[in-house]
Structure 1
Amino acid sequence: MSPRFPSRPSRTSGIRTRAAVLAAGMGASVVLGAGGAAAADTTATSSVASAVEAQAAAQAKAAKAAESAKAAQVAKAAANAKKSAAARKASVQKKAASWVDPVRNYRLTASFNQAGGMWSHKHSGQDFAVPIGTDVMATHSGTVVKAGPNGAGDGPAYGNAIVIKHGNGTYSQYAHLSRIDVRVGQVVTTGQHIARSGNTGNSSGPHLHFEIRTTPNYGSAVDPVAFLRSKGTTV
């Protein structure tokens, strides 16, 4: 019999075993590398999404702020427009309610209720001494109800005269005029030119005779200076 010797691993088998171990290690490395790359991709995607969300939030905030600012501007403009309209209305109302002296650069002479030989009764108005041709103005807005010679129906002593009816139930009269520049039925405004002063009728010199009445006719006069002063004039 031939003697038996223990068998030894073949060289080929050892090589195969080492190759398997190396392959396993390399596979593990590949697997680990792929996992790291996947984790890195996930982190990058998350960062981009956060940045987009932050940008969108900032844009929305800016848009909201711009909208609020625009709304505030619109509200301010509306408030200013309302304020301006109120101011204009107040100015118009004040102007409509105001009274002015019938002439400028005058000197007061014969006064209301003054006795004298020039009148059959006491003086019914206030005289404003001014040169002939001085601009005569409506002391308040109203409608002309009398205009013409012979005192516009109140008698020749007044000469050429005008009577204006006002909205508050009073009347103003202008007499001794050299020229009449309005007609009956005409609407006039406060301070509007209506005539030129003169010396017509029963007059001792150039002046404007002015009355405030409670009716359009002679005999209903009240103190014109006190009346005008109560309306804010400086007569």
Structure 2
Amino acid sequence: MSKTPKNVAKSISGTRARAAVIAAGLGVSVALGAGSAVAAQATGQGDVFSSGTASKLAESARHQADQQHQAAASAKKEAQERAEKERASREAERKKLNSWTKPVEGSYDLSAGFGNSGGRWANKHSGQDFAVPTGTQVKSVHGGTVVKAGPNGAGDGSSYGNAVVIKHDDNTYSQYAHLDSLQVKPGQQVKTGQDIAKSGSTGNSSGPHLHFEIRSTPDYGSGKDPVGEMRGHGVHV
């Protein structure tokens, strides 16, 4: 039986040892590779989850921002509309304060005019008569202060019956006479178009009507043509 030389046996043993080490290394590498793959897969799943959550949070933030923007725009629009309404209201009030209007509204007939003469007046007629039924609403032709109101022509004489005199901001006066009832009193502030009395036929009157004057003073005798004066304020009767 032949014997293997010692140097050959040692060579074989070294070769086997190296093969075992290489095999073991390959096993470790395989194991590590599998672990790395699992770890990589887990990491990938985490990234996907994190990415989805971030996307949802971003979308929610955008939605909230849009809602806040819309709410702010709506509030701004409402504030602008309120400001415009307030401005329009102030402008309308200003125009109303500066405007003039007729002493009666609706249907009426102009009867005796300014400067007419006749047996009904000791002097020429001092105003313009509006033939209207008793109880017709009489209005202030312009804003001002009531300086006279009462019976006996409010101090101008019994022929006027119940009367009202109003002082206006241009230092003219309007007078309303033969009234059935009064709705204002001396010292009261009135606006253009405000109800001040009901028409009637008190005093020296041949029938229901409103006697209307424009005066330069609060007293009888200072009357001016009311039709012409009203026309100068843009009112045609």
TM-score, length-normalised on structure 2? Answer: 0.79
In the other structure, the counterpart of 2:30 is: 29
Q: Aligned-pair distance for 1:172?
A: 0.9
Segment drifting more, 164-173 vs 77-86: 164-173
Distance 1:4 1:147, change over 3 A: closer
Is 1:186 aligned to 2:184, yes or no? no
Q: What do the CA deviations read for 1:140-175 (whole angstroms, capped 9, x no partner)?
A: 333221123432222344333221122343211012
In the other structure, the counterpart of 1:165 is: 167
Unaligned runs of 5+ in 1: none
Segment drifting more, 31-40 vs 176-185: 176-185
Q: Secondary structure at the match of 1:164?
A: strand
In the other structure, the counterpart of 2:140 is: 138
Q: Aligned-pair distance for 1:96?
A: 3.3
AA aligned to 1:228 is M
Is 1:55 aligned to 2:56, yes or no? yes
8 Å CA contact retained: 2:133, 2:199: no
8 Å CA contact retained: 1:135, 1:195: yes
Looking at structure 2, the residues matched to 5 and 179 of structure 1 have their Cα atoms a distance apart, in angstroms, of 156
Distance 1:62 1:109, change over 3 A: same
In the other structure, the counterpart of 1:83 is: 84
In the other structure, the counterpart of 1:214 is: 216
AA aligned to 2:93 is V
AA aligned to 1:88 is S
Looking at structure 2, the residues matched to 143 and 182 of structure 1 have their Cα atoms a distance apart, in angstroms, of 10
Segment drifting more, 26-35 vs 135-144: 135-144
Q: Give RMSD over aligned pairs.
A: 3.1
8 Å CA contact retained: 2:180, 2:201: yes
TM-score, length-normalised on structure 1? Answer: 0.80
Unaligned runs of 5+ in 2: none
Looking at structure 1, the residues matched to 64 and 119 of structure 2 have their Cα atoms a distance apart, in angstroms, of 87
Looking at structure 1, the residues matched to 183 and 38 of structure 2 have their Cα atoms a distance apart, in angstroms, of 104
In the other structure, the counterpart of 1:196 is: 199
AA aligned to 1:196 is S
Distance 1:22 1:82, change over 3 A: same
AA aligned to 1:6 is T
Distance 1:61 1:180, change over 3 A: closer
